[in-house]
Chains A and B, each alone.
Chain A
Amino acid sequence: MTPLFQQLVLGLLIGGLYGLAAAGLSLVFGVLKVLNVAHGQLIMLGGYGAFWLFALRGLDPFASLAVVIPAALVAGGVLYWTLFGWVVRAPEETRVKNSLLIGFGLALALEAAAVRLWTADERSVTTGYAGAVLTVAGLAVPVVRLASLALALALCGGLHLVLARWRWGRAIRATAEDWEAALMTGIDVRRAYLLAFALGTALAGAAGTLVSVGYSISPSIGLEWTLKALIVVVLAGLGSMLGTFVGGLVLGLAEAVSATVFGGPYREVVGLVVFFVVLVARPRGLFVR
């Protein structure tokens, strides 16, 4: 069995990706009040984007972020126009429920499409440097995963800056807080919704790319990643991207501890149990400010 400290290192490394995965979901949920349960499937597609670019064009997966992120932005815009933009007209409670159903249908369709395009096999992008390992104080740190963690942090930080500094970033935050007040200050909230959804999708694409390098992807990973992202959102609350990132790290570490204590197969269960308990303990306080 892997010793605890090694587990913790690996947990921290994947925790960064949990944080990134959650950041996109949190942004969309916080701003549109739309729960996109197909978020994990968007991550999956991002991973296949990177995989394709690598397999067909030999593009380095980290470099492929420069393609995947803009493509995901556009895809997010299209999804908003065709699907989720219809839901935001409804009052909030119906909105969350309908978005859940739509996201669910979308998830099924995307997963089935991925199976047709890439088969159900597990894949990962194996670069020349995939096996490189740093050894720090006797602990093995896979270089690719370390780089992914750093990139995940950079992306969450970047999103934080965008929301804090950019004119429309502020408009997005204002819309998240009070969309009627945003309208009254002259913000086109539909546009803020569109931008937030596109940004959230772009983050999902980026997360998927990083997953495909350090870990592996298959058409069926969507649900698992949606759940991870949901767990982090529930743990970290809405509103702060850096808080969400830290929440991801915490989940990674918690999984590592539980894998050591209860055994590897129970790695997932602990996070889910915590998720359920926190959710029930704060059934309303969680998502409202």
Chain B
Amino acid sequence: MTGRRSRALGLATAAALATVPLVVRRDDVLNFLFLVLLSVTLAESWNIVAGYAGQVNLGHAAFFGLGALTTRALWIAGAPVLGAMVAGAAVAVGFALLIGAAAFRLRGAYFAIGTLALGEILRITVGNVRAEISTLPAATIAGYRLAHRYYLALALAAAAVAVVAALGGSRLGLGMRAIREDEEAAEASGVGALRLKLLALALSTALAGLAGGLFAYYHISYYPAHPFSPTWTFDALLITFIGGVGTVHGPVLGAVFYVFLKEYLAIRWVDFHLLIFGLLFVAIVLLLPGGLVEAAARLGALARARVLTAIRK
């Protein structure tokens, strides 16, 4: 898709989604869309560091969790929710920069398992320190408006997509992709690899922290360790890969597909979606590294070729 056309399409989609709460009064629809939008944000945020900079971060949930933890605490203590979310993002980024310099000494799969360990360290520690369930005060529950959460999720998802789209065409994004393809060569041609990787991580974790804040704002009660669970990382990874890793549209497409199937299948068979997604994911890694986006592009090209030959005849 060309830049202008896809931007127009994106704006139109966002506008259409913005009218949904005005038209649809059903909470289940809003909840479903909320989940899609949260997933878009989380997946796009993971996509920055993993898809563009090529660093498979398996500890992504830690940053989502830190955002949730901070936001929830500040918000319940009386801070405005937007301020609390920004603080959550700041904490996530701060932690990312703290561990980033060390973690980025690791390459490829070692970075992946190293960050997986980091995520687990945080999850277990938070589970130990904050073992009790976190529930909103009664007054807040009474004033709970789903539409507020929905609009926040929409704004965040739109921002995430915009960030990734802007990154895609920028020098920054180009440098990140150079690192993904060949870090040594990138370094040799003057790309400051560590600086760019840290930048990618900061961008990525800022969005993840905001998404965590949104999670904290959305849920009435949950265990504080839950947003630290590696399943959040895995969701982001599945969505991004199924949709198309390192693309702007991939995570969006992936999120719609993933959440739809997940919710649909979960009604019938608990956890069955993971069996399907696990296998689908393996198939995509082996056979279709470009994900749904590439599949769509190929189908599109095929169809165009058909049409063209038909016209010529």
Q: Which residue of A lies closest to B109 (CB)?
A: A96
Q: Are B281 and A101 touching (Cβ within 8 A)?
A: yes
Interface centre among A110, A223, A272, A276 (most CB of B within 10 A): A276
Interface centre among B105, B238, B275 (most CB of A within 10 A): B275
Binds A, one of B26-34, B35-43, B137-145, B266-274: B266-274
CB of B121 within 8 Å of the partner chain: yes
A residues apposed to B, CB below 8 Å? 35, 37, 83, 86, 93, 96-102, 104-113, 115-116, 120, 223, 227, 230-231, 263, 265-266, 268-269, 272-273, 275-276, 279-280, 283-284, 286-287
Please pick, from B109, B120, B278, the residue contacting A35 in the complex, using a CB distance under 8 A.
B109
Residues of B within 8 A of A99 (CB): 109
Flag B236-247 by CB within 8 Å of A: 1 or 0 each. 011001000000
B residues apposed to A, CB below 8 Å? 56, 102-103, 105-110, 112-114, 116-118, 120-121, 124-125, 127-128, 230, 234, 237-238, 241, 269-275, 277-282, 285-286
* Assembled-state Cα–Cα distance A230/B58 (Å): 14
Q: Are A109 and B282 touching (Cβ within 8 A)?
A: yes
Nearest-CB distance from A173 to chain B (Å)?
22
Q: Are A265 and B102 touching (Cβ within 8 A)?
A: no
Q: Are B109 and A100 touching (Cβ within 8 A)?
A: yes
Residues of A within 8 A of B230 (CB): 223
Could you list 6 A-B pairs, sorted by A, with CB under 8 Å?
A100-B112, A108-B281, A109-B278, A112-B274, A276-B117, A279-B114
Q: Assuming the A-B contacts A96-B109, A112-B271, A112-B275, are A105 and B281 also in contact, with contact meaning beta carbons closer than 8 angstroms in the complex?
A: yes
* Assembled-state Cα–Cα distance A268/B273 (Å): 29
Task: Name the 5 nearest CB pairs between A and B, nearest first.
Answer: A109-B278, A108-B278, A105-B281, A112-B275, A112-B274
Q: Assuming the A-B contacts A112-B271, A276-B121, are A105 and B282 also in contact, with contact meaning beta carbons closer than 8 angstroms in the complex?
A: yes
* Assembled-state Cα–Cα distance A284/B111 (Å): 11
Q: Are A230 and B113 touching (Cβ within 8 A)?
A: yes
Nearest-CB distance from A138 to chain B (Å)?
30
Q: Assuming the A-B contacts A97-B56, A105-B278, A109-B275, are A283 and B110 also in contact, with contact meaning beta carbons closer than 8 angstroms in the complex?
A: yes
Q: Are A97 and B282 touching (Cβ within 8 A)?
A: no
Q: Are A101 and B241 touching (Cβ within 8 A)?
A: yes
Nearest-CB distance from B16 to chain A (Å)?
33
Please pick, from A100, A104, A272, the residue contacting B120 in the complex, using a CB distance under 8 A.
A272
Residues of B within 8 A of A286 (CB): 110
Q: Are B107 and A283 touching (Cβ within 8 A)?
A: yes
Residues of A within 8 A of B108 (CB): 93, 96-97
* Assembled-state Cα–Cα distance A142/B14 (Å): 62
Residues of B within 8 A of A276 (CB): 102, 114, 117-118, 121
Q: Are A279 and B120 touching (Cβ within 8 A)?
A: no
Q: Which residue of A lies closest to B54 (CB)?
A: A97
Q: Assuming the A-B contacts A108-B277, A283-B105, A283-B107, are A275 and B117 also in contact, with contact meaning beta carbons closer than 8 angstroms in the complex?
A: yes
Nearest-CB distance from B290 to chain A (Å)?
14
Residues of A within 8 A of B56 (CB): 97, 100-101
* Assembled-state Cα–Cα distance A184/B22 (Å): 71
Residues of A within 8 A of B285 (CB): 98, 101-102, 105
Q: Are B270 and A115 touching (Cβ within 8 A)?
A: yes
Residues of A within 8 A of B102 (CB): 276, 280
Please pick, from A104, A113, A280, A284, the residue contacting B114 in the complex, using a CB distance under 8 A.
A280
Q: Assuming the A-B contacts A101-B285, A279-B106, are A116 and B118 also in contact, with contact meaning beta carbons closer than 8 angstroms in the complex?
A: no
Q: Are B103 and A108 touching (Cβ within 8 A)?
A: no
* Assembled-state Cα–Cα distance A111/B278 (Å): 9
Nearest-CB distance from B265 to chain A (Å)?
10
Q: Which residue of B lies closest to A223 (CB)?
A: B230
Please pick, from B110, B124, B273, B274, the residue contacting A269 in the complex, using a CB distance under 8 A.
B124
* Assembled-state Cα–Cα distance A99/B118 (Å): 21
Nearest-CB distance from A64 to chain B (Å)?
26
Known: A108-B274, A266-B124, A272-B121. 16 other contacts (CB 8 A): A37-B113, A102-B286, A104-B237, A107-B278, A109-B275, A109-B279, A109-B282, A110-B278, A116-B275, A265-B124, A265-B128, A266-B128, A268-B124, A272-B120, A276-B118, A287-B110
Q: Are B118 and A104 touching (Cβ within 8 A)?
A: no
Nearest-CB distance from B200 to chain A (Å)?
17
Please pick, from B125, B128, B274, B286, the residue contacting A111 in the complex, using a CB distance under 8 A.
B274
Q: Which residue of B lies closest to A276 (CB)?
A: B117
Q: Are B128 and A227 touching (Cβ within 8 A)?
A: no
Interface centre among A35, A101, A230 (most CB of B within 10 A): A101
Residues of B within 8 A of A120 (CB): 271
* Assembled-state Cα–Cα distance A286/B238 (Å): 29
Q: Are A116 and B278 touching (Cβ within 8 A)?
A: no
* Assembled-state Cα–Cα distance A182/B124 (Å): 44
Q: Assuming the A-B contacts A100-B109, A116-B269, A265-B128, are A280 and B103 also in contact, with contact meaning beta carbons closer than 8 angstroms in the complex?
A: yes
Q: Assuming the A-B contacts A108-B274, A115-B271, A280-B105, are A227 and B279 also in contact, with contact meaning beta carbons closer than 8 angstroms in the complex?
A: no
* Assembled-state Cα–Cα distance A109/B118 (Å): 24
* Assembled-state Cα–Cα distance A227/B117 (Å): 8
